[in-house]
Chains A and B, each alone.
Chain A
Amino acid sequence: MADAVVTDTRTRTEPGFFRRNKLAIAPWIFLIPALIFFAIYVVIPIFESLWLSLYQWNGLYDAEGNSTAVWVGFENYARLWGDPNFWTSLRNNIAWLVLYMLAVPAGLFIALFLNQTVTGMRFYKSMFFFPFVISQVVVGLIFGWFYNPDFGVVGTVWKAIFCEETTNILGNTTFRCERPVPDILSSEQWATYGIIAAGLWPQIAYCMILYLTGLNNVAADQIEAARLDGAKGWKMLWYVVVPQLKPATFIAVVVTVIGALRSFDMIAIMTQGGPFGSTNVLSHYMFEVAISEYGERYGYGSSIATVLFGIMLIFISYFLWRMYQDEKGGR
């Protein structure tokens, strides 16, 4: 009898290695496919890029299959310092960051406007969200056409206000304008702002939807209580509603910052960085340098990417820190 008990406990306490460490091994088995994939395509390339930024390389390999990259140390960064295109791009990146932030209050404003329950509201909400769903390439094309001085909407409206239609000797209609029609995307001064305005359109839609979801969760009793205390309008918004929308605001800011620094598609479509590099941002300039018609400059391109990565890292660290605080608090 006693023997039987002993053998029984022995088989229980000495199962196989895998079974004993089940809870320690299992997570890794679930994680491995994602980790391998993510490491190959995301984590390792980051370090490769950082490393490559210290080389000069046209992307070619010699006959033996060895890379032709030449170590140049920090020379790429020294060149960046003296590269006016780099500074223009950086300045434009800052303009994007600052002006793109307008999407957050604008999105809140539209969300407040739409936060009603009249019939058909769902339809209106989804239609207002529409611009975010379509590709930025399409948005870029739409606005490129919108801004066109000859036959775009801006040109047409301008002509209606400032121009007089006349017919010349040959019978063709011409316009005589008090002020010439602005060609926004060909103006070194205005093109960047034109593109940012176009970019704001889908971004406002995104922020709006975040706030609409947030507004659904605003505690009704607090609003009622504040109303009884005589709060209304701006005061109500600022002191009662906005604090409750904090999670939505946080995400709106995160996605707007990321969106601003990632802006590439619209620039590539609308101006390709021109006129004379005046609308370049780091992401587009990097692409232009690394894969250009004049041969590939992978090393120099990587140094630009590294600078952009550095800027982004400041924001990423802040977001992660905030998330970490939430994780700690959430336990």
Chain B
Amino acid sequence: MFPRPIEKSGATAKAAYQAFLPIALIMWLLPLLAIFLTSIRSAADINSGNVFGWPSEFALIENYAAVFTQSAAAQYMLNSVLITVPSVVISVALACLAGYALAIYRFRVALPLFFLFVAGNFIPFQILMVPVRDMSVQTGLYDTIAGQFLFHAAFQTGFCTLFMRNFIKALPFDLVESARIEGVAEWRIFWYVVLPLVRPAIAALAVLIFTFVWNDFFWANVLTQGESAKPITAGVRALNGQFVNNWHLVSAASLLAAIPPVVCFFLMQRHFIAGLTLGAVK
């Protein structure tokens, strides 16, 4: 193990290390802690200039309730859910199929097609912006929930296919081979042999794509206009304009926007990290 385990350096070193850890953590998360403290302050504190010190009174419930009652935050949150969940389902489903095809069958264009998905995943959004926006306007998908999740699902299919293909490639090929000798139909091999084995990959992709799509801001701006289809990320920015100088409300709204992916991460940490390393660093 590197660096040398701290236990081997003696009790003093270990104690010092353990004492320093929380300090380092607080320094690292200082911006987040500061905004959390702000979000539970009262308006009086903000107006009197006490924005950094300890809150004179706690207004956690008042502030978070105010965000919901004084703005369209509830609508934005709902929109985010309605955009994110179908995106995850569609992209992961498509990627299971495509990943299976690219990993199991040997055909000439398998590798070029795989690279197409990989490359598509790395391109800048701006190169897609005008045609996708124009297409959405033409088909009536502009400023709708569906318009957003269809795009996200298609775009994230690239990443999901990359991940899924590598995952399936690492499975023992004998399983498929012997099923074929038994005369099992190809789609049954996919459904009964491979799909049960890729469950960890599905879990990893689901949390990752959830986070990616939930945190999207660019496409929310490109594909929506009004409040009816805006997700929370774009909503928070709108609130920032609406609650000028009401920093306690802006902070509360920002933290609300951050909660779902954070919960997702803590619940499925192991899968999340496996996904982030693109399956390459195990």
Give bound CA distance, A215 to B153, whole Å. 33
B1 touching A223 by the CB < 8 A rule?
Answer: yes
CB-CB under 8 A from B118, the residues of chain A are 319-320, 323
CB-CB under 8 A from A230, the residues of chain B are none
B130 touching A151 by the CB < 8 A rule?
Answer: no
CB contacts under 8 Å to B, within A115-174, are 115-118, 120, 124, 126-131, 133-138, 141-143, 145-146, 151-153, 156, 173
Residue in contact with A116 in the complex, picked from B5, B190, B262, CB distance below 8 Å: B5
A130 touching B29 by the CB < 8 A rule?
Answer: yes
CB-CB under 8 A from B18, the residues of chain A are 118
A137 touching B154 by the CB < 8 A rule?
Answer: no
Using an 8 Å CB-CB cutoff, how does the interface string of B50-62 with A read, 1 for contact, 0 for none? 0110000000000
B120 touching A42 by the CB < 8 A rule?
Answer: yes
A268 contacts chain B at the CB level, 8 A cutoff: yes
CB contacts under 8 Å to B, within A81-138, are 112-113, 115-118, 120, 124, 126-131, 133-138
A42 touching B128 by the CB < 8 A rule?
Answer: yes
Q: Is the interface of A mostly helix, strand, loop or mixed?
A: helix
Give bound CA distance, A241 to B25, whole Å. 25
CB contacts under 8 Å to B, within A219-269, are 220, 223, 236-237, 240-241, 247-248, 250-251, 254, 258, 261-262, 264-265, 268-269
A304 touching B126 by the CB < 8 A rule?
Answer: yes
CB-CB under 8 A from A200, the residues of chain B are none
B277 touching A268 by the CB < 8 A rule?
Answer: no
CB-CB under 8 A from B214, the residues of chain A are 135
B257 contacts chain A at the CB level, 8 A cutoff: yes
Give bound CA distance, A38 to B237, whole Å. 30
B127 touching A41 by the CB < 8 A rule?
Answer: no
CB-CB under 8 A from A262, the residues of chain B are 124-125
CB contacts under 8 Å to A, within B153-177, are 153-155, 157-158, 161
B281 touching A217 by the CB < 8 A rule?
Answer: yes
A112 touching B3 by the CB < 8 A rule?
Answer: yes
Give bound CA distance, A288 to B119, whole Å. 26
B35 touching A44 by the CB < 8 A rule?
Answer: no
Using an 8 Å CB-CB cutoff, how does the interface string of A4-46 with B read, 1 for contact, 0 for none? 0000000000000000001110111011011101101111111
CB-CB under 8 A from A324, the residues of chain B are 111, 115
- Which chain B residue shows the least CB distance to A22? B186
A306 touching B127 by the CB < 8 A rule?
Answer: yes
Given the known A-B contacts A135-B258, A308-B127, are A236 and B273 also in contact in the complex, defined by CB atoms under 8 Å? no
Given the known A-B contacts A45-B131, A118-B17, A133-B211, are A316 and B190 also in contact in the complex, defined by CB atoms under 8 Å? no
Given the known A-B contacts A130-B262, A206-B276, are A38 and B130 also in contact in the complex, defined by CB atoms under 8 Å? no
B97 touching A34 by the CB < 8 A rule?
Answer: yes
B70 contacts chain A at the CB level, 8 A cutoff: no
CB-CB under 8 A from A320, the residues of chain B are 115, 118-119
Given the known A-B contacts A146-B34, A305-B127, are A126 and B266 also in contact in the complex, defined by CB atoms under 8 Å? yes
B130 touching A302 by the CB < 8 A rule?
Answer: yes
A128 touching B25 by the CB < 8 A rule?
Answer: yes
Residue in contact with B95 in the complex, picked from A34, A120, A146, A298, CB distance below 8 Å: A34
What is the number of residues of chain B that contact chain A, defined by CB distance less than 8 Å? 101
B281 touching A213 by the CB < 8 A rule?
Answer: yes
CB distance from A30 to the nearest CB of B (A): 4
CB distance from A301 to the nearest CB of B (A): 6
A301 touching B130 by the CB < 8 A rule?
Answer: yes
B258 touching A316 by the CB < 8 A rule?
Answer: no
Highest count of chain A CB atoms <10 Å: which of B29, B129, B237: B129
Give bound CA distance, A96 to B175, whole Å. 47
Give bound CA distance, A215 to B4, whole Å. 12
CB-CB under 8 A from B278, the residues of chain A are 251
Give bound CA distance, A220 to B2, whole Å. 8
B83 contacts chain A at the CB level, 8 A cutoff: no
B236 touching A141 by the CB < 8 A rule?
Answer: yes
A52 touching B158 by the CB < 8 A rule?
Answer: no
Q: Which of A72-80, A181-189, A279-287 sits within the interface?
A: A279-287
B25 touching A127 by the CB < 8 A rule?
Answer: yes
A220 touching B1 by the CB < 8 A rule?
Answer: yes
B261 contacts chain A at the CB level, 8 A cutoff: yes
Residue in contact with A31 in the complex, picked from B97, B127, B277, CB distance below 8 Å: B97
A261 touching B186 by the CB < 8 A rule?
Answer: no
A309 contacts chain B at the CB level, 8 A cutoff: yes
B31 touching A153 by the CB < 8 A rule?
Answer: yes
Can you list 18 A-B pairs with a CB-CB distance of less than 8 A? A26-B101, A31-B101, A45-B130, A48-B130, A131-B29, A133-B261, A135-B217, A141-B251, A145-B34, A151-B247, A210-B277, A262-B125, A264-B218, A269-B240, A291-B221, A302-B130, A305-B130, A320-B115
- Known interface pairs A209-B277, A248-B281, A268-B237; 11 further A-B residue pairs with C-beta atoms within 8 A, sorted by A's residue number: A34-B98, A37-B154, A38-B117, A38-B158, A45-B127, A116-B5, A127-B29, A141-B35, A214-B281, A282-B126, A320-B118
